[in-house]
Chain A
Amino acid sequence: GENVEQHPSTLSVQEGDSAVIKCTYSDSASNYFPWYKQELGKGPQLIIDIRSNVGEKKDQRIAVTLNKTAKHFSLHITETQPEDSAVYFCAASKGAGGTSYGKLTFGQGTILTVHP
């Protein structure tokens, strides 16, 4: 089955710096790659996603890039703020139909700490 590796497991940055989290996936049939942010005591919140027909997507300070050939995708956060501190998860899915219904394969998570 699908396997998603996420690095680093912890990341500490100063406010205003950029943060980059990287993930690799094993199943070339995966075509949907969301990123989730989980704050303490809360459920994961979808922050951005990308599909396999797109190489890059931006939403204000957050961007995601996808390299299908290398089977890796990355989350980039610019101008980090203390409220960005949380656990970030990448995930992969085959998206439409078949055995993929409802199933996301998650990376192990990255604890991001932004110091004021």
Chain B
Amino acid sequence: KAGVTQTPRYLIKTRGQQVTLSCSPISGHRSVSWYQQTPGQGLQFLFEYFSETQRNKGNFPGRFSGRQFSNSRSEMNVSTLELGDSALYLCASSLDRSNTGELFFGEGSRLTVL
């Protein structure tokens, strides 16, 4: 069974640009969550999607957005990039049967903002 797939794995952008990251969940998983990982702040929750609807959102500015498609694949977008947005962005999927909380993470997309 394939795991969570994230693309691209690495990317470099400059300040002011925008970026779109993609996530394909484990087959059959309908919930997708996104996390930002940095050395200083650790792992922080961005948002969660289920059936194309955002159900939960963390404390990030509006520059961070996401969406989910009918096949459960998800994308997140960061606009007007800042140096501080450099991070590993992790996607996690879940079966979400009674929302047991088990999350399975992908390898992440490492974003560097210059």
Interface of A with B (CB < 8 Å)? 32, 34, 36, 41-46, 49, 89, 91, 93, 95-97, 99-109
Contact = CB atoms under 8 A, between A and B. Distances in A.
Given A42-B107, A43-B106, A102 B92 contact: yes
A44 B48 contact: no
Contacts of A46: 102-104
Contacts, number: 75
Interface of B: 4, 31-33, 42-45, 47-50, 55-56, 58, 90, 92, 94, 98-108
A34 B101 contact: yes
29 contacts: A34-B101, A42-B108, A43-B90, A43-B108, A44-B43, A44-B105, A45-B105, A46-B102, A46-B104, A49-B101, A49-B102, A89-B42, A89-B43, A93-B101, A95-B99, A95-B100, A96-B101, A101-B31, A102-B32, A102-B47, A102-B48, A102-B50, A102-B55, A104-B43, A104-B101, A104-B103, A106-B42, A106-B44, A107-B42
